[in-house]
């Protein structure tokens, strides 16, 4: 099942998946409005959608030109679709002005409220909240979250699950929803509702599912570490659930998310780092290593990844990409520090890889984030099984090189799964760390074949890195073969 879901959602980028799921929700909303299943006027939904899309895309184009960057149009479309779900559907001039204002503010926030190439606050929430403050003296509302209705909940929930699963942020969404149900549900129980009825009311009539799936899950505004993400989700849930009012400022879903974004930024902010390209070296016919010199010490743990920001005429995947760090942390702290990444270099790859391949030595590129929880256990006595699929070897290369640099001995079996027989990327790092290398083909990712390759695998802790389909297949096979704990490394390609 895991592999089938990844194969289905992996056919499109994260941006496209968000666009498709939001479009389905809005299409169903228009249909239900025509059938009088929900209250809004269908023509008002369509009219508001048209105004919001024009305003968002127009403001984004203008801001991008002024900032001299390539506009990310699909991101703006997603913002517009979300705003359409939040603002009142209307055909009145005043209402459409408020919707357009929220859209313009959302687009501009991506360029004005930024840190190291990343916007700090969810654009849709920011635009709607600020527009609401401006419209308040005129008796107008900006955020009513009309999309929250039991009739639309199935479509909203399915889309939210797909997005949370694709970004591997189901835990973040669950933390937010559970805390919101506990607090808001308790308040309903105190007024006479039964606990189950109160929980259903929160799920169906409060915007917890939509906010968790379509807005809180945005990778660009989430902090890098799991505990930080859980903290941001919990803070958002508390701000969402506890009523307060101070003039035009009162608790609302959009303000709650803005406050959660601020906490996320506060707990994860680090000073900026630039990487100067030193050299690029072929790892194989299909992969290349890029080695950089950091402008200052780049602190990370073996197994983590970094996000690079490379301004260029980008495709729909944008100007930022995440790559596992392939070098040891000790090398980044050396007298002549260096940091390396390894990546596949297929023909007709992404615009980012093409731009990276054209960089001249000495060119600087910005690091916008260092993150990841794909870390080895601290107890060196735990036997390990590393399953690497192709370029998925990179986080293991960092971990193995770090072990060798520290002189730490561990019981490690490295299972390399490759469609190219004999290709083991970073073989030297594995041998230097004393890992036992076992080669396998993709069709050997079955419980019986894995037991034959690694007879004691049930006693080992599993780590899997590679393409989403391989990760899903290997994790399932390992668990069926008796491995109790399996850690996976995954990038959604948002």
Residue 319 lies in a domain: yes
Q: Which element (helix H / strand E) includes 186?
A: helix 170-190
Q: 410, 380 in Cβ contact below 8 A?
A: yes
CA gap 220, 268 in Å, rounded: 12
CATH of the domain at 295: 2.40.30.10
Domain count, the chain: 3
Residues 390 and 480 in one domain: yes
| Mean pLDDT calculated for residue range 434-445 | 93
Q: 93, 345 in Cβ contact below 8 A?
A: no
Residues 294 and 397 in one domain: no
Looking at 268, 291, 319, the residue that finishes a domain is 268
Range of the domain at 343: 273-371
| Mean pLDDT calculated for residue range 258-266 | 94
Residue 194 lies in a domain: yes
CATH of the domain at 24: 1.10.3430
Residues 118 and 228 in one domain: yes
Looking at 371, 402, 436, the residue that finishes a domain is 371
Arithmetic mean of pLDDT over the chain: 90
Q: Which pLDDT score is estimated for 367?
A: 86
| In the predicted structure, residue 11 carries a pLDDT above the cut 70 | no
Residues 237 and 337 in one domain: no
pLDDT digits (tens, 9 = 90+) for 87-120: 999 999 999 999 999 999 999 999 998 876 677 8
pTM for this model (two decimals): 0.79
Phi-psi region of 458 (alpha: psi -120 to 50; beta: other; left: phi over 0): alpha
CATH of the domain at 470: 3.40.50.80
CA gap 90, 208 in Å, rounded: 24
| C-alpha dist (Å) from residue 186 to 1, 172, 198, 209 | 36, 21, 8, 18
Here the tokens at position 362 are: 């000495």
Residue 399 lies in a domain: yes
Q: Which element (helix H / strand E) includes 25?
A: helix 14-34
Residues 155 and 230 in one domain: yes
Here the tokens at position 462 are: 């599993």
Q: Which pLDDT score is estimated for 401?
A: 96
Residues 255 and 284 in one domain: no
Residue 86 lies in a domain: yes
Helix/strand/coil percent split, the chain, to 5? 50, 15, 35
CA gap 477, 145 in Å, rounded: 43
Residues 335 and 439 in one domain: no
Residue 377 lies in a domain: no
Q: Are strands 461-465 and 384-389 parallel, antiparallel or unpaired?
A: parallel
Residues 413 and 312 in one domain: no
Residues 388 and 329 in one domain: no
Q: Which pLDDT score is estimated for 279?
A: 93
Q: 9, 166 in Cβ contact below 8 A?
A: yes
CA gap 205, 145 in Å, rounded: 10
Residue 114 burial class via C-beta count within 10 angstroms: exposed 0-12, middle 13-18, buried 19 and up: middle
Residues 259 and 288 in one domain: no
Residues 204 and 247 in one domain: yes
- Nearest CA among 406, 387, 270, 231 for reference residue 331: 406
Q: Which pLDDT score is estimated for 13?
A: 73
Q: What percent of the chain has a predicted confidence (pLDDT) above 90?
A: 67
Residue 159 lies in a domain: yes
Residue 436 lies in a domain: yes
Residue 378 lies in a domain: no
CA gap 131, 106 in Å, rounded: 9
- Nearest CA among 347, 355, 284 for reference residue 314: 355
Residues 355 and 403 in one domain: no
Q: What is the DSSP letter of 344?
A: E
pLDDT digits (tens, 9 = 90+) for 220-232: 788 888 899 999 9
| Mean pLDDT calculated for residue range 205-215 | 96
Q: Which pLDDT score is estimated for 350?
A: 77
Q: Which pLDDT score is estimated for 285?
A: 83
pLDDT band at 15 (very low <50, low <70, confident <90, very high): confident
Looking at 337, 371, 405, the residue that finishes a domain is 371
Q: Which pLDDT score is estimated for 316?
A: 61
Q: 456, 383 in Cβ contact below 8 A?
A: yes
Q: Which pLDDT score is estimated for 483?
A: 94
Q: Are strands 118-119 and 364-371 parallel, antiparallel or unpaired?
A: unpaired
């Amino acid at each position: 099942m895991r592999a089938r879901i990844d194969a289905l959602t992996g056919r499109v980028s994260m941006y496209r998946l968000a666009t498709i799921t939001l479009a389905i929700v809005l299409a169903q909303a228009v249909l239900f409005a025509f059938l009088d299943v929900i209250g809004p006027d269908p023509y008002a939904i369509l009219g508001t959608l048209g105004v919001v899309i024009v305003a968002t895309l127009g403001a984004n184009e203008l801001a991008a030109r002024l900032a001299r960057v390539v506009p990310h149009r699909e991101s703006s479309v997603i913002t517009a679709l979300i705003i359409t779900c939040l603002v009142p559907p209307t055909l009145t001039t005043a209402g459409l002005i408020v919707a357009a204002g929220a859209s313009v503010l959302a687009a501009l926030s991506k360029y004005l409220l930024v840190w190291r190439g990343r916007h700090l606050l969810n654009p849709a929430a920011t635009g709607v909240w600020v527009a609401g403050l401006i419209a308040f003296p005129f008796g107008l509302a900006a955020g009513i979250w009309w999309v929250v209705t039991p009739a639309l909940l199935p479509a909203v929930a399915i889309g939210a699950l797909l997005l949370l699963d694709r970004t591997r942020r189901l835990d973040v969404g669950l933390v937010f929803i559970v805390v919101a149900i506990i607090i808001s549900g308790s308040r309903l129980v105190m007024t006479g509702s039964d606990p189950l009825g109160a929980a259903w009311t929160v799920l169906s009539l409060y915007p917890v599912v939509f906010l968790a799936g379509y807005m809180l899950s945005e990778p660009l505004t989430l902090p890098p570490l799991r505990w930080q993400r859980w903290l941001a989700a919990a803070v958002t849930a508390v701000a969402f659930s506890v009523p307060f009012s101070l003039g035009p400022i009162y608790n609302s879903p959009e303000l709650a998310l803005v406050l959660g974004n601020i906490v996320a930024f506060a707990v994860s902010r680090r000073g900026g780092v630039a990487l100067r390209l030193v050299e690029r070296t072929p790892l194989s016919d299909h992969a290349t290593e890029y080695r950089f010199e950091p402008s200052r010490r780049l602190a990370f743990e073996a197994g983590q990844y970094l996000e690079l920001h490379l301004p260029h005429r980008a495709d729909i995947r944008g100007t930022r990409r995440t790559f596992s760090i392939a070098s040891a942390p000790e090398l980044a702290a050396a007298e002549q520090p260096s940091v390396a990444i390894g990546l596949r270099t297929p023909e007709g790859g992404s615009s980012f890889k093409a731009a990276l391949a054209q960089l001249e030595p000495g060119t600087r590129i910005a690091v916008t984030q260092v993150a990841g929880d794909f870390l080895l256990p601290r107890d060196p006595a735990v036997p390990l099984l590393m399953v690497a699929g192709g370029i998925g070897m990179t986080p293991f290369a960092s971990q193995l090189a770090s072990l060798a640099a520290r002189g730490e001995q561990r019981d490690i079996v490295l299972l390399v799964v490759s469609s190219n027989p004999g290709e083991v990327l970073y073989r030297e790092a594995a041998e230097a760390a004393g890992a036992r290398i076992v080669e396998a083909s993709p069709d050997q990712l079955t419980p019986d074949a894995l037991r034959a390759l690694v007879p004691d695998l049930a006693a080992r802790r599993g780590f899997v890195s590679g393409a989403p389909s391989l990760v899903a297949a290997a994790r399932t096979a390992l668990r069926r073969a008796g491995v109790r704990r399996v850690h996976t490394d995954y990038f959604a390609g948002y």
